[in-house]
Amino acid sequence: MMSAPAPLMHDKKEVSKEVILSVSGLKKHFPISSGIVFQRQVGAVRAVDDVSFDVYRGETLGLVGESGCGKSTTGRTILQLYRPTAGSVQFEGKELTTMKGEELRAMRREMQIIFQDPFASLNPRMTVGNIVSEPLRIHNILRGKELREYVENLLEKVGLNPFYINRYPHEFSGGQRQRIGIARALALNPKFIVCDEPISALDVSIQAQVVNLLEDLQQELGLTYLFIAHDLSMVRHICDRVAVMYLGKIVELAATDELYDNPLHPYTQALLSAVPVPDPSVEEDRQRILITGDLPSPANPPKGCNFNTRCPVRMDACFREPDPALTEVSPGHWVACHRVP
């Protein structure tokens, strides 16, 4: 119902302090090559450049930033869909970056991904039943009647009529397709899901449905999410902690309310002030911190601090000194800025 007061989900979500995923010094550089016959590497796009963070069991960690900041690459590199250039990714204490073959394939049952574009991420020639059951068939878990029942249950769980099992993706709307993508991700009972902009391609009136579904599933199944997004209002709603990325690096990481109420990095401040609020009375008095210019190329990042080309409060040290390290300024609040002691 639309107007009835929404039921309180939980006063305080239970998030353990047990680390489920630990990322340290992660780098992913894509080579730029030149030459026709003899390809030489002439440079590298530093999509992810030395990123470290922990994810706790049962939490939702938000990863935000503008397009090209490396947030999606980070998600995919964690899942080993891209092999990292350097760094380590440990899932439940097991190192993923050195795993390969059968061992890695087995690990994939624990970690899944939901993609942004529900139109491009589903094979148009497969039925919904085949799409959702494919992971189960690959891992040889269920077959025959049992498989069909399992898939029907899954479809019901994500709010789709099991009756649709033999239909094709084009027969569904965007929101329903995203539900199919979610069912596929859930099929193997994973512990950890990378949600790569799962609602950006959906209509406004459908976004809330999908976000509610993701939250319900998290509650029910004890899932851990890495939620990649650029909609900062939605991130505030769904995430327990948020990391802000800029040009391949994390510039700030804190608990959600702390980050939104007390942003310390000038980029976070500018980013938050740029988000429009759907309330004319609030918008009227809002002061925006406008940052000028565009994102520099990650193939040729600025010398010194990455943000020094656009920063409204830059000083000499930001050009002279190397890139500031991510340091903990108060418990759980990490910032990488020369201005912040």
Partner 1 sequence: MGVLMEVKNLVTRFYTQEGTIYAVNDVSYTLNEGETLGVVGESGSGKSVHALSIMGLIPMPPGKVTNGEVWFQGRDLLKLNKEEMRLVRGAEIAMIFQDPMTSLNPVLTVGTQITEALKLHLGMNNTQADNRATELIDMVGIPDARKRLHNYPHQFSGGMRQRIMIAMALSCNPKLLIADEPTTALDVTIQAQIIELVKQLQKELKMAMIWITHDLGVVAGMADTIQVMYGGRTVERGPIKPVFRDPRNAYTLGLLNSLPRLDAAQKRQRLTQIEGSPPDMRVEPVGDSFAPRNPYRTERCWTETPPLRQAEGGVEGHMVAAWYDLREIRKQQQLEGKR
> Site residues (CB under 8 A) for partner 1?
1-4, 6-13, 66-67, 173, 175-176, 203-209, 211-212, 215, 230, 232-234, 236-238, 256-257, 260-261, 270-283, 286, 288, 290-292, 294-295
User: Facing residues of 95 across strands?
Assistant: 90
What tokens were used for 136? 């189960």
Q: Radius of gyration (Cα) for the chain, nearest Å?
A: 21
- Is the CB of residue 168 less than 8 Å from the CB of residue 87? no
Closest CA to 157 of 120, 196, 184, 195: 184
214/305 with CB nearer partner 1? 214
d(CA 331, CA 299): 34
Q: Smaller CB distance to partner 1: residue 107 or 255?
A: 255
Give the chain's length: 341
Looking at the DSSP assignment, which residues form a beta bridge with residue 330? 333
Contact 32, 45 (CB under 8 A): yes
Report residue 257 as tokens.
């309310």
Q: Which residues contact 219 (CB under 8 A, 6 or more apart)?
A: 9, 10
CA–CA gap between residue 53 and residue 315 (Å, rounded): 28
- 264 or 291: CB nearest partner 1: 291
Q: What is the DSSP letter of 24?
A: E
Residue with tokens 């016959």, as numbered in its chain: 37
Under DSSP, the state recorded for 273 is H
Min separation Cβ 205 and partner 1, Å: 4
What stretch of H or E contains 214?
Answer: helix 204-221
Least distance from partner 1 to the Cβ atom of residue 301, Å: 16
Tell me the C-alpha distance between 151 and 153, whole Å.
5
For the CA atoms of 200, 202, 208, 213, what is the dihedral angle to 10 degrees?
Answer: -90
- List C-alpha distances in Å: 39 to 32, 46, 83, 300, 330: 10, 19, 21, 20, 48
